[in-house]
Amino acid sequence: MNSSKKNAVTTEEIPDEIISELCDKYYYTLKNNEAISKFSFEERLSAAHEVIEGYREIDLYFYRRTSDDFLPDEKQRVSNCVLPVNLASNDYLDFAQHTVIIDAGISAMKKFGAGSGSVPMLAGTTPLHKRLESEIASFTGYDSAITYNSCYAANYGLLTALLTQADAAVLDMSVHASIIDGCCNTNKIFFRHNDPASLKIALMKASVFKNKLVIIDGVYSMDGDIAILNEIMQLANENEAWIMVDESHALGVIGDNGKGTHSHYAMQQKADIITCSMGKALGGIGGFIAGRDELISFLELISRPFIFSTSIPQNVAAQLIKAICLLQTDSSLHKKLWRNIHYFRKRIDEMGFEENQSASAIIPLIIRDEVKLLNFCRLLHDDGIFVNPVFYPVVPKRKSRIRISITAALSKDELDYALDRIEAAARSLGIIQ
């Protein structure tokens, strides 16, 4: 997709019926297990290819874009800001571009090479990996930590190792897909999102199982709201259940200097387990699990993604060590992030978008009409605003949205430019009045 191409289709030239047909084919064919199970391999591949090519043909395929897809030149200045304005990044503190962190990575790469060369259980654990895990444990307040090459692998590896058919995972309905996938070998009982009353009922249903693990996100990735951790932990304790919190969108963002959900609530008691991506606020890649020493020992021996996956490169480990150090010693980017969040959120609320419960760097713009959503994304794309549409099954049906991510990298000029273009596009499509 490139909005600079000469014969790009304009929004007015795309019949709504074409967009609806493509959305339906995606929803009710590709994402419908009953429907897709009737297809041969070739038919399944062809269906996916037809959907992508259909969106590309009408210039509405918004995934896997690069900066070159927005403008003839890689960078262009408009109103004192560099386009595209990236409102889709999870690099909340701009650590991926921080010179001190980059220098730490370069130094480690020159010293240790470009990769670890093995899985952690064999030759892939170096002093840098052990130091990183020690720093994570200290920062989060847990006995020990273990690192994986993605948080998906961490969540999947933890849950498939820990939970059996004798156990039950008690899941908030909005937990990340990696958590749901990780519960493939156990009993799943869902409760309404962030609803302690519903959790209480779910825990009663789970009482027949040997072990119960309540699983929540600290900050939810699609709505940006914060888990009611204090109430949820109390219910878990009363029902002799363990609790796991995925801190991927919380660490570095909420709490004292970004220490996460426990800090946000000033809680001394810790969840039994936390997991977290190191590819968001920490600006690197990989994931970690923190908990008791015994839990980490168990995972070292049992967790297949840990045992059979190459460890993160040493340069990334060095970068992450530096990032954790900066979180504790320099609050300037954390403060800037929150200035940007408050400023952007205030303007969005004044425009009249549908209310939401966001209390973090994630700000959803709910647009229940998928046709309007795609046209909205197209108008913003053409103005150099990088946002992504989110559809079912990632979010519930009729709750499609643009998921805005605010970062410390954004200047006030960039925020103002993006906000002005968002308001103009939304009014032109009747999304706001």
**Catalytically annotated residues:** 221, 249, 280
Q: Which amino acid is at 353?
A: F
**Closest to 61 (Cα-Cα) out of 33, 23, 6:** 23
Quickly count: other Cβ atoms within 10 Å of residue 43's Cβ: 12
Which pair of structure tokens corresponds to residue 345?
A: 């959120």
